[in-house]
Amino acid sequence: MKVLVTGGAGYIGSITAKALEEAGHTPVILDSLLSGPRQFVGDRIFYEGDIADRALVARIVEEHPDIESTIHMAARIVVPESVELPYEYYRDNVAKSLELFDQLEKLGKPRILFSSTASLYALQPAFEVRETDPVEPTSPYARTKRMMEMCLEDIARATSLRAIILRYFNPIGADPDLETGYHLKDATHVVPLLAQAALGYRDKFTITGTDLPTRDGTGIRDYIHAWDLAKAHVRAVEEFDAVIEAEGAPYAYLNLGKGDGVTVRELVAAVERVVGRTVPIAEAPGRPGDAVGAFANADKAAALLGWRTEATLDEAIASALAWGEKRQDVLGYE
């Protein structure tokens, strides 16, 4: 089938496009290239433009009437930046997405897979979270994701639109061929920063937040190999109608994670184990908007999609490190 992928030039978008191709599907990429590099599109069907451009979306559907569903990944995603630039985050993540959703529904393309985030869950005593657990987003970024979830719920109740809302945990690693990976030049996510410190591109890695209510005082996350995450999207596309039917509602929530929690200190130790050298460390207070963290109960995705993660944490870290060494050749910077 053909699948429209917004943000398909980005980190997870480009890897998902490859996973779709390997499963026999055809991705159609829509990306503004605000952050995603053109190199990540390759020779795929590509439209450069804004998701809120209704005329462009209509042209895409007219030229590809066999599009079966849309994976909506286009978004601003940097938590500290969202604290500094809330207007831009609400405009691009919420207002523009509403235009896209309404236009797709009017064009008769009502199946939407939405990239949400696990960072909106409320803190749980044992840190494990299920789709039915309370949410309490702590940053403008996370609040934009929760707003979009609520918008999708309401629109789906009132129209033909149907939504599978995928709550990502923490993707790391690159695609298996090391053609695409984490691309932001000034890294803000923990594993790219750790990789750069381990490879000597940074003089140290800074642990932000050391007095949190976890077993060692540092944040806890559920790290999932980006390739496993991409394959979950393929399964969700293929099982879309069955998931909606099983849910008994016009929308469904699915956690996509490995299912165990790793603290920042434990992650540092894992990187050191994989790379075989010590990572220089500094400590600093937590950043505005950062969540303590959580890890996934992914039983629902296993039941409805027949999907669970396959890569180990060490394999995912090795992939991230391998990409860290190669990305200068691909993107022109370290």
Known catalytic residues are 141
DSSP secondary structure code for residue 40 in this structure = G
Pair 145, 82: CB distance under 8 Å: no
Residue 318, SS3?
helix
CA distance 97 to 116: 12
Instruction: Return the bridge partners of 135, or none.
Output: 121
For residue 188, what are the contacts with CB-CB under 8 A and spacing of at least 6? Answer: 78, 79, 80, 81
Rounded alpha-carbon distances, angstroms, from residue 212 to 273, 274, 293, 295: 24, 26, 10, 15
Dihedral angle sign, alpha carbons of residues 323, 117, 243, 262:
positive
CA distance 85 to 52: 19
Q: What backbone phi and psi angles, to 5 degrees, belong to 211?
A: -125, 30
CA distance 71 to 329: 29
Pair 307, 235: CB distance under 8 Å: yes
111-117 and 26-31 strand pairing: unpaired
